[in-house]
Structure 1
Amino acid sequence: MKRLFKTVAGAAVGVALATTGMVATAQAAGEKYILVSHAPDSDSWWNTIKNGIALAGEQMGVEVEYRNPPTGDLADMARIIEQAAASNPNGIITTLADFDVLSGPIRAAVDQGINVIIMNSGTPEQTREVGALMFVGQPEYDAGYAAGLRAKGDGIESFVCVNHVISNTVVAERCRGFADGLGIDLGSSMIDSGQDPSEIKNRVLAYLSANPDTDAVLTLGPTSADPTILALEENGMAGDIYFGTFDLGDNIVKGIKSGVIQWGIDQQPFLQAYLPVVILTNYDRYGVLPGNNINSGPGFVTIDALEKVEEFAGEYR
């Protein structure tokens, strides 16, 4: 299945790159696309998203803009989507981190006649419900399930999932999928860590102290992975406890290289930002649209596959 995901994403990139040669003759004046994410300013993982839309804008010859709620407040994000729609761009690319909070503004943008693509957070089903064109991202439950199967094959029977975005119910599917892959109930194995690094570290230390027989730690991105690395270094478990994580970042890459982290799951955020700009531009110009949603991940990154990741970590990976 992983090979299929890579093939689909790779084919989409090939199509995208092939179209860039037509920009000079096809570009219309004032083409603008706005990407709205749920990420707070403090989450460096989204730098890759910013680089993705910037490169796509440059290659396609269109104006692109990245907007987000500085603190990650979803009500603020809903207002940002409304403001983006009011500026009447050619298209909006947005995450669907909370369906109840964000579906209304997204539907309103679609009803206004703005083409919308959902990326990163959400599901294909939710994408159809709000009237968006398609979803570009990682099927979170499937990714978690694949990770659980891998961990089960490595002898893991229990774990703690460090969830720093508990309000994002779709992301929590990573934890549920992991538990199902192991063949156990999620139960109390998922902790709400919050996003403060010191608090995350303390909650991981407290959980492992209260549950010393825990076989593995699963984190959901650099925000939770980086403080967890510090926690394991403090309690002496770094390199001894099985550690898997979603997403990549400088410290995660270093952790994989040193053997503290067994693997990272790459959802390829670059593609999640790059492809929607290319797709929307070609849809506006030529009326062409891929017939299916695009799975940008999952892909496992281990110590054996770090060369390109190290080269572009935090930039395009």
Structure 2
Amino acid sequence: MKTVLKLALGALVSMSMLAGVVQAAGLKDPKDVRITFVVHGSASDPYWSVVKRGVDDAAALTGAKVEYYAPQVFDVVEQARLLDAAIATNPDGIAVSIADANALGKSVKAGLAANIPMVVLDSGEKEGAELGTSLYVGTVSEYDSGKKAGERLAKEGTLKVVCINHEVGNVSLDQRCQGLNDGLKPSGGGTEVLTVSPDPADIQRRTEAYLSAHLDTQAVFALGATAANPLIPFFRQKELFGKIKLYTFDISPEVLDSVVAGEMGFGMDAQQYLMGYLPVIYLVEHATHGFWPQNNAYTGPLFIDSPDKAKAILALAKDGIR
């Protein structure tokens, strides 16, 4: 937390000094900059609430006006509609997640054609580049992240894994599980996919039914904290910890508490706060000074795989930063 505050203070001083320079040069003042976020994750998702915290903190730091839009539930068609509406207002910059390039491609191209600077966050690094975007903030390839996890599980002898997919149609989650499968494959392992809704009761019910029908399952791998959070009490209630392993992409206070307790194997930290924070900084600097990073900003993943590692960031997670 101290590091975050130091960075914020340093940036605040810089922004204050630069504001005077901007005004003197006749360029745009940060307080006159308007940025729009259009993402696929709902605000109720614990993962995206951390992204939103990063957005809000960067907006407060810079003084820019930042608007944030997302569908109530995962719906890429609705996200495309929101993106079209944002483009029509001609903001100084747009940050967008691309969970489905087929649904969003036309809208992204329209934004670029309107000369609106665009930053891709969280998902869609490759897809965004193919559409013409030049900057991404998020984890290294979802596929590669999944493959690293699969190779790690294979070394531990965990080969039969089920992926819990709570957002059907989200290509990024598909890539996570495909990478996991391919990481396990050389050792003779593999994955199956269990599709669920984001409803906690549905996640628990469907997982219980799957495990009852597949007694050889060695591990359950949630594709996000939305799926992992309800699985933790389910595993406790059914006394599955120690019998079946539980892992997840992304973290939450619940996930970290479980790792601290020696229950979950690991959570993969995307440091998604930075996915909200950095695009605001980048787009404000572009609008005020014309700066544009020449490389993508990779925020993760980090394996939180021990009680000590989990304890070190638990307070930040409970504060909505990790």
Q: Which residue of 2 aligns with 1:312?
A: 316
Structure 2 Cα separation of the partners of residues 243 and 142 of structure 1: 20
- Determine if the alignment matches structure 1 residue 276 to structure 2 residue 271: no
Q: Summarize deviations over 1:2-36 as a string: whole Å, max 9, x none.
A: xxxxxxxx9xx79x948545443233452011111
Q: Does the C-alpha gap of structure 1 residues 70 and 149 become closer, same or farther in structure 2, counting only changes over 3 Å?
A: same
Q: Which residue of 2 aligns with 1:35?
A: 37
Q: Does the C-alpha gap of structure 1 residues 153 and 188 become closer, same or farther in structure 2, counting only changes over 3 Å?
A: closer
**One-letter amino acid matched to 2:113:** D
What is the percentage of aligned positions where both structures have the same residue? 33
Q: Summarize deviations over 1:205-229 as a string: whole Å, max 9, x none.
A: 1111111111111101121102222
Is the contact made by 2:182 and 2:190 (CA closer than 8 Å) also made in structure 1? Answer: no
Note the residue ranges of structure 1 that are not aligned, 5 or more in a row: 1-9
Q: Which residue of 2 aligns with 1:4?
A: none
Q: CA deviation at 1:116?
A: 0.7
Is the contact made by 1:91 and 1:116 (CA closer than 8 Å) also made in structure 2? Answer: yes
Q: Summarize deviations over 1:37-75 as a string: whole Å, max 9, x none.
A: 111243132111111011111222211121111122221
Q: Summarize deviations over 1:237-292 as a string: whole Å, max 9, x none.
A: 12432211111112111111112211100111111111111111112222222212
Q: Does the C-alpha gap of structure 1 residues 126 and 229 become closer, same or farther in structure 2, counting only changes over 3 Å?
A: same
Q: Which residue of 2 aligns with 1:57?
A: 59
Q: 1:261 aligns with which of 264, 268, 282?
A: 264
Alignment of 1:296-311 (within 5 A): 296-302=299-305, 303-311=307-315
Q: CA deviation at 1:230?
A: 2.9
Is the contact made by 1:175 and 1:186 (CA closer than 8 Å) also made in structure 2? Answer: no
Q: CA deviation at 1:133?
A: 2.9
SS at match of 2:168: coil
- Normalised to the residue count of structure 2, the TM-score between the two structures is 0.88
Larger Rg: 2
Q: Does the C-alpha gap of structure 1 residues 29 and 257 become closer, same or farther in structure 2, counting only changes over 3 Å?
A: closer
Note the residue ranges of structure 2 that are not aligned, 5 or more in a row: 23-28
Q: 2:166 aligns with which of 158, 164, 167?
A: 164
Q: Which residue of 1 aligns with 2:127?
A: 126
**One-letter amino acid matched to 2:62:** M
Q: Which residue of 2 aligns with 1:287?
A: 290
Q: Does the C-alpha gap of structure 1 residues 186 and 127 become closer, same or farther in structure 2, counting only changes over 3 Å?
A: farther
Q: Which residue of 2 aligns with 1:3?
A: none
Is the contact made by 2:137 and 2:298 (CA closer than 8 Å) also made in structure 1? Answer: yes
Structure 1 Cα separation of the partners of residues 51 and 290 of structure 2: 25
Alignment of 1:9-20 (within 5 A): 17=11, 19-20=14-15
Alignment of 1:213-292 (within 5 A): 213-292=216-295
More displaced 10-residue stretch of structure 1: 179-188 or 81-90 = 179-188
Alignment of 1:59-208 (within 5 A): 59-123=61-125, 125-138=126-139, 139-183=141-185, 189-208=192-211
Structure 1 segments (4+ residues) deviating >4 Å: 184-188
- Normalised to the residue count of structure 1, the TM-score between the two structures is 0.89
In the alignment of these two chains, the number of paired residues is 304
Q: Does the C-alpha gap of structure 1 residues 267 and 152 become closer, same or farther in structure 2, counting only changes over 3 Å?
A: same
